[in-house]
Each structure stands twice: as C-alpha cells, then as structure tokens.
Amino acid sequence: MDEALLRALTPTVIGILGRRGADFAAAEDAVQEALVEALRVWPSAPPRDPKSWLTTVAWRKFLDAARADTSRRQREERVQVEPTTGPGSERDDTLQLYFLCAHPTLTPASAVALTLRAVGGLTTRQIAQAYLVPEATMAQRISRAKKTVAGVRFDRPGDVGTVLRVLYLVFNEGYSGDVDLAAEAIRLTRQLSAGIDDEELRGLLALMLLHHSRRAARTRPDGGLVPLAQQDRSRWDTA
C-alpha cells in the first residue's frame, strides 16, 4: 500500500464530496471508511485510477449514511441520483479544508487536531501522542470538533489568523512527528501567500523556511538533537 498516495488523495476526495453536497463531517467520515476499504481491497486488487476508486466508494458510503439517517431526509432527496463514475477534478482543495478546519467556533487546539486527522492523515493515536494526552481524550476532542463544523458548508471558512496558527503547528508536527508534513505546510503557506498580501503570513513563511533549511543538520543518526552552535553549516540548505 502506498500510504503517501492515500494521504495525498484524502483532501482531494473530501473536496469532491463537499462540492457534491456533503458537509465536512459527513465527507470526512465517508472518506475514512473508503480508506479502510482501500486497505482491505487494494493489496490484492489495486485500482487503475485510485482517485476515482476512492471517490466512488466514499460517495457510496456517504449515500448509505444519508439514507440511514432519518433526520437527513431532505439531503437524501438531493443525492438520490448518484453522479456518473469518472475521473475527479484536479482542483486542490487542501488549503480550503485548512480554512474549514480552522473555523472560528473551534479552539486552536481542536482546529489543529481536526486538521491533522482530516487533512494531514495522522491517526488519532499519533495526534494524542503529539499532544501528550490519552487516545480516548483526543478521540473525543476530534469528534466534538467534527460535530461543531458539521453544518458548515465549504463556502463558510474560518479566518486567516487561525489558519496561520494551524499551519505553523502542523509544520511543527510534521517537522518532528511520524508523518512528514513540514514540506506540505510550506507549500500551502506559499500558496496562501501568493493570494494574500499579509506581513504576518510572509513572516510565517520565512520562519518555516529558516527552520526547514537547517533540518538535515538538526539531528544525529540516533535521532538526538544537535544544538545550533554545533550544527554542520555545510548541510544547511542555503537555497
């Protein structure tokens, strides 16, 4: 299984379901179920088009959940006709999902946890370890965050300030965690900086690049940290 591919496809498929009418929480749940199905099926029968496969399975999971929920009858009527299976859009919805996860009704800690789970692809256990809390506690925090944004559509995102805090915390998790999210955080910060003229945003990007440029020299082979004064500066990425 190519776990990196699954992590890369997750925000794209969530975005596709969102544009078809699913709210964030329902889309994220459906995609997680599709990923579980992929882990079961793909080793013996890998799909020719992984994104289309995930989109189709996730959409069916969403429809099943909608039909089973009597309180969502109105939504069920809108999604009775399943869209024709085919290649999904190439649109990158990752940054839009960051804005949604950074909704102002969420605390910064909940926003980061939800982002790491839904967009970053980390498991609840990995996020709990990063926050030094029990896994059950983190599961409840993520569940409450998803319920908070359950009724928020993709055109009602959070504020830029919260997104900047989330991006930096995601960068820190990627910098030292099990899953490398640092480069992705830099890519999204560059993308956001290209569309918004904001001094704090430019400063955040500069800070990320400064830390990232010294990454190769920061650790020893055994994983121990190398103090700045002892780092081999020839290993710094000056570009």
- What would the pLDDT profile of 175-230 be if each residue is shown by its tens digit? 655 556 788 788 889 988 888 888 999 999 999 999 899 988 988 888 788 998 99
3-class DSSP state for residue 219? strand
Query: Could you tell me the two tokens for 176?
Result: 């030292």
pLDDT at position 92: 61
**pLDDT of res. 89:** 47
- Please determine, for residue 162, whether its predicted confidence score (pLDDT) is greater than 80: no
CA 167 to chain centre: 11
36-93 pLDDT, tens digit per residue, is: 899 889 988 889 999 999 999 999 998 888 777 655 455 445 555 455 444 444 556 7
How many secondary structure helices (H) and strands (E) does the chain include? 11, 0
Task: Say which residue, 35 or 179, is predicted with more confidence.
Answer: 35
Widest CA span in the chain:
64
Average pLDDT of 141-163? Answer: 75
Distance, in Å, from the CA atom of 200 to the CA atom of 129, rounded to the nearest integer, reads 29
Going from the C-alpha of 11 to that of each of 14, 46, 82, 91, the distances in angstroms are 5, 20, 21, 10
First to last CA, the chain: 34
| pLDDT at residue 72, rounded to an integer | 47
Give me the pLDDT at residue 1, please: 66
**Distance (Å) of CA 10 to CA 81, 127, 188:** 24, 17, 15
> What span, in angstroms and rounded, lies between the C-alpha atoms of 94 and 96?
5
Q: What is the pLDDT of residues 100-146, one digit of tens each?
A: 777 777 877 788 888 888 877 778 888 888 778 899 999 998 888 88
The predicted pLDDT at position 116 comes to 80
Position 180 scores a pLDDT of: 66
Q: Is 197 exposed, middle or buried (0-12, 13-18, 19+ CB in 10 A)?
A: exposed
The one-character DSSP state at 123 is -
CA–CA gap between residue 196 and residue 201 (Å, rounded): 8
